[in-house]
A = this chain, B = another copy of it.
Amino acid sequence: MQPPYGKEQIHREKLNPHYVAGFIDGEGCFSVSIGKHKTLKRGYEVRPEFEIELRKDDQEVLERIVVTIGVGRIYDCSYERYGWFPHAKYKITSIWEMKEYLFPFLDQYPLQAKKAKSYKFFREIVLMLCDKQHLSDEGFEKIFQLRTELRMLGKKARTYGSREGAGKPLAPWRETASK
């Protein structure tokens, strides 16, 4: 992925917040990956991520989502190896930006489709991380369980069918719980 475009570079008109909730129900993705980490005490790193990935020629709506939610960055994704056109990805990876911007937004303009369940698990995991509960054995165990629940929601479809909104591929470089 290319270096991100920060919202400081974006001067777009805000969207209606209900529109953004509907768009996220259609195209948004909540995921939590747990990867090995050499320096962290527990040896594992919990990485929550919220993303919306579209074809590059639809990037403007992502830029308007950045200014509407007030946070998030847009990355270029090249899928030449898949024979696909370029994509643009809106992404939030900071748990503090999630807590301060994304969650208040989605709590005020709630998701209406079953993705609301994914959001519920995702939100709980992120707030536990903000609260440093992952540092205790009980906390880490609970986060792992919540992430399993989140993953089960994504697993309702076959892999082939579950992650290809806008033709996006499974991220090949990590194991992830999605949708």
Contact = CB atoms under 8 A, between A and B. Distances in A.
Nearest to A84: B161
Contact of A156 (B55, B79, B113): B55
Interface stretch (A21-29, A43-51, A120-128): A21-29
Nearest to A19: B22
A112 B22 contact: no
A3 interface: no
Interface in A162-179: 162, 164-167
Contacts of A22: 15-16, 18-26
Query: Copies of this chain, how many?
Result: 2
A40 B82 CA distance: 43
A160 B84 contact: yes
A102 to B, nearest CB: 16
B158 A84 contact: yes
A98 B31 CA distance: 37
Interface of A: 15-27, 54-55, 57-58, 60-61, 64, 79, 82-85, 109, 112-114, 156-158, 160-162, 164-167
23 contacts: A16-B21, A18-B18, A18-B19, A18-B22, A21-B22, A22-B25, A22-B26, A23-B23, A23-B113, A26-B26, A55-B157, A57-B114, A58-B113, A60-B113, A79-B161, A84-B157, A84-B160, A84-B161, A85-B157, A85-B158, A160-B167, A161-B167, A164-B167
